[in-house]
Amino acid sequence: MKNYIFQFLELLLQTIIFWVLAFCIFIFIRYFAIGSEEGLIVTTYHISDILFFGLLSGVLVGILFAVVEFLFDKFLSKNLSLALVLVQKLLIYFIGIIFLLNYVFPLAENELNLNLTTEGGWWKNSKIFWIIVGYFLICSIVFSFVKIANDKFGKGVFFNLLIGKYRKPREEKRIFMFLDLQASTTIAEKLGHYNYSELIQDCFYDLNRIVTKYDAEIYQYVGDEAVLSWTYKRGIKNNNCVKLFFHFQDRIKKREKYYLKKYNLVPVFKAGIHGGKLIVTEVGTVKKEIAYHGDVINTSARIQGECNKYKELLLSSNILINDLSLSSKYKVEFIGKIELKGKEEKLNISAIRAF
């Protein structure tokens, strides 16, 4: 619940800032246009009023937008088609705008000395109403595009693509986690490909609920495996890269009844984590994405591949563990100096368990 509240407040702040700016620009331009048509003299006093109504409209629409987007994203859209979600959102927004403007228009009429019709059913024949609706749709598309792009590429990655940060290869220090379903082949044979796909979908749905809490980025999904990434600083901060794994396991356990009822099993995941320097660059022309090149990724994958051998759920390189500040809540047990497949030098690896 605490995580949901934080995510909602973050979205609320973003939507309010966006819509306040959008409506300030709209009202400012629109009022100046009316002023030139009707011979009104725009003073500093008028400008302060314009900014007030831009702020008021932006806050009201921002709250509406945040509530609707959050409810659909977190609770309502999982089992609905994209087309149905869009239709329902548009209907809610349309009704919401009518109610909001019924409140804002009378205030603007008095304060800005404008002739705005607010009688019953006024919006049907109101030119300014339909202009606002059109403007709202355009701004919504812009906001949704940026939001979808952030969901697709990861938080902050889309902005980096826009400014061309990774147009040329750059060296960064990052942490990677390879998270994989245990006994996936056996489970797939037992459930069949359709139910197995639904299981993976449910598991990753649970995973997506917590990634933002631990500042993680989902680099990619590969079958029943998810690859997560952090900047090195964010990954070791508050032991985010370790806490995420155990929170994910706890979340699945809390939904044990659901998984048993639907799949007759409770999924268990294993993971390998490692950190270090690697190259980040933008690749592709038809389909662009941010790619990571370096030994860190391969080593993380190889570490995860050792989990079955040592019957552990979370293995980590000691290089990373040395930079973490694990409390007594966690037990670290040295596995040994392991020769990983494809690597010449052996690597010290330890298991991390939570009490």
Q: How far apart are CA 13 and CA 9, in angstroms?
A: 6
Q: Are residues 59 and 97 in the same domain?
A: yes
Q: Are residues 128 and 176 in the same domain?
A: no
Q: Which residues, including other chains, have CB under 8 Å from residue 97's CB and lie 6 or more apart?
A: 61, 132, 133, 136
Q: What percent of the chain has pLDDT over 90?
A: 41
Confidence of residue 214 (pLDDT cuts 50, 70, 90): very high
Q: Are residues 136 and 165 in the same domain?
A: no
Over residues 291-299, mean pLDDT: 91
Number of separate domains in the chain: 2
Q: Which residues, including other chains, have CB under 8 Å from residue 319's CB and lie 6 or more apart?
A: 274, 275, 276, 347, 348
Q: Which tokens sit at 278?
A: 């690697």
Domain boundary among 153, 168, 194: 153
Confidence of residue 34 (pLDDT cuts 50, 70, 90): low
Q: Are residues 306 and 214 in the same domain?
A: yes
Domain boundary among 111, 131, 153: 153
Domain boundary among 153, 182, 206: 153
Q: How far apart are CA 331 and CA 2, in angstroms?
A: 27
Q: Are residues 77 and 113 in the same domain?
A: yes
Phi, psi of 290 (to 5 degrees): -90, 125
In angstroms, how far apart are the furthest CA atoms of the chain? 83
Q: Which residues, including other chains, have CB under 8 Å from residue 136's CB and lie 6 or more apart?
A: 61, 93, 97
Q: What percent of the chain has pLDDT over 70?
A: 86
Q: Are residues 117 and 201 in the same domain?
A: no
Residues spanned by the domain of 343: 157-354
Q: Are residues 189 and 337 in the same domain?
A: yes
Q: Are residues 99 and 167 in the same domain?
A: no
Q: Which tokens sit at 320?
A: 């990373």
Over residues 249-266, mean pLDDT: 94
pLDDT of residue 176: 97
Global pTM? 0.71
Q: Are residues 10 and 122 in the same domain?
A: yes
Q: What is the CATH number of the domain that holds 197?
A: 3.30.70.1230
Distances in whole angstroms, Cα of residue 335 to Cα of each of 36, 176, 328, 332, 338? 78, 20, 19, 9, 8
Q: How far apart are CA 173 and CA 158, in angstroms?
A: 19
* Nearest alpha-carbon partner for 199 in 231, 294, 190: 190
Q: How far apart are CA 1 and CA 203, in angstroms?
A: 19
pLDDT of residue 115: 59
Q: Are residues 72 and 193 in the same domain?
A: no
Segment 133-165, tens digit of pLDDT: 888 888 888 888 787 777 666 666 777 777 777
Q: Are residues 122 and 241 in the same domain?
A: no
The tally of CA atoms less than 13 A away on the side-chain side of residue 5 is 2
Q: Are residues 235 and 283 in the same domain?
A: yes
